[in-house]
Amino acid sequence: MPEPDGHIPIPILEGDWPAQAATSIEQLVTTVRDKTTVPALTAARAVVYAIVGGSLLLVAFVLFTICFIRLVDNYLPGDVWAAYVLVGSVFLLAGLILWTQRGRASIQPAAAPTTLSPV
């Protein structure tokens, strides 16, 4: 229905349509970013933290081993080889315990191919 001045109102152009368009575009961009960039950033952070944490654990393990050998060498009679034997035995025992706790890989045999009989 035309207005008194002869102008026919278009519903989409009424109100603050530039703000509504900007809000819709912003919501679309936010949705796309949340579904693409955020998971990629989370995965990248996890990889970086794992590398840094693994490096720190490796350095800590090496330093612990050196300190343990020096401590054992101070209190064990004999040369340093006795400390090496004792520390090596501890690591060997720990490795054997971990070896017995490992899981078995379950390999499923492949299914035989089916043959089709001629009809």
> What digits encode the pLDDT tens for the residues 28-87?
999 998 899 989 999 999 999 999 999 999 999 999 999 999 999 998 888 889 899 999
Show contacts of 97-106: CB within 8 Å, 24+ apart: none
Let me know if residue 4 belongs to a domain. no
| Structural domain includes residue 71 | yes
In a domain, 46, yes or no: yes
3: left (phi over 0), alpha (psi -120 to 50) or beta: beta
The pLDDT, as a whole number, for residue 41 is 93
* Structural tokens at position 2: 């035309």
Looking at residue 117, its pLDDT comes to: 66
C-alpha of 110 from chain center: 31
- What single DSSP character describes residue 7? P
Residue with the bigger pLDDT between 43 and 106: it is: 43
Judge whether residue 15 has pLDDT over 80: no
User: How many separate domains does the chain show?
Assistant: 1
Question: In terms of residue numbers, what domain contains 78?
Answer: 16-97
110 in any annotated domain: no
pLDDT computed for residue 11 by the predictor: 62
Q: Nearest Cα to 69, choosing from 55, 88, 92, 43?
A: 88
